[in-house]
Amino acid sequence: VQKIVKIRQPSAPENSPKTEMAPVHQNHSRPVSYYAVHCSSDDLFGCIGKTRANFCRKLIGKKFAMKLDKRKELHVTLAYLKDKPNCRKSAAVKKIKGFVGRQVEVRICGMACDGKAAAFVAEGVYFVESDGAVEKVPCLNKLPHLTLAVNGASNRYSNDMLESGMYEYVEVKGVVKGIVRANMY
């Protein structure tokens, strides 16, 4: 049974992730392009365990000849708004805004790879209160995920790959903490 909690005004998270995160964009002259949960790539691979992490790295690198994204941070897009002006006023986006600046959990359930892209698939994104109450954070992507590598494709391709169902899938379980941010281009 899930206990739904009221969304409080955004504040700094009580428990910061282990690694330092880049600052939240502060340029308010441009509209928000997308909301996302930003996670440390080290924490992301660490959450699934060393053996599974090494297996996933080898599968991506050797079987599919792709190179992992070198960024120190990866993200789960919660809402992409750049070409969707009507989305900005939706109830889901309003709810996501309430989580900006807060620490959340991304629950990883597997890794998908097709040679053009590799991504950790997330079962969902959750905000956990200090009393243990859990609230699911809305995600407008059909399949929440963190893109790990692309080979001659755009990052958008991960969405297409997952929606097509045409990929190899490895079950991996883990929970990684991240911060919800409003991002501008």
Question: What tokens appear for 127 in the block?
Answer: 């905000």
3-class DSSP assignment, residue 41 = helix
> pLDDT digit string (tens) for 6-46?
333 333 334 433 334 444 444 456 778 899 999 998 999 99
Q: Where are the beta strands (DSSP E) in 19-160?
A: 34-40, 73-80, 103-113, 117-128, 134-136, 145-150
pLDDT score of 162: 96
Q: Which amino acid is at 141?
A: N
pLDDT score of 15: 43
pLDDT score of 29: 62
Q: Which residues of the chain have pLDDT under 70?
A: 1-29, 185
Residue in 84, 107, 87, 86 with CA at minimum distance from that of residue 96: 87
Distance between CA atoms of 136 and 92, rounded to whole angstroms? 11
pLDDT score of 70: 81
pLDDT score of 19: 36
> pLDDT digit string (tens) for 146-159?
999 999 888 789 99
pLDDT score of 90: 86
pLDDT score of 6: 31
pLDDT score of 87: 79
Residue in 183, 6, 41, 31 with CA at minimum distance from that of residue 120: 41
Residue in 75, 80, 78 with CA at minimum distance from that of residue 38: 75
Q: Which amino acid is at 69?
A: D
Beta bridge partners of 174: 108
Number of helical (H) and strand (E) elements in the chain, helices listed first:
4, 7
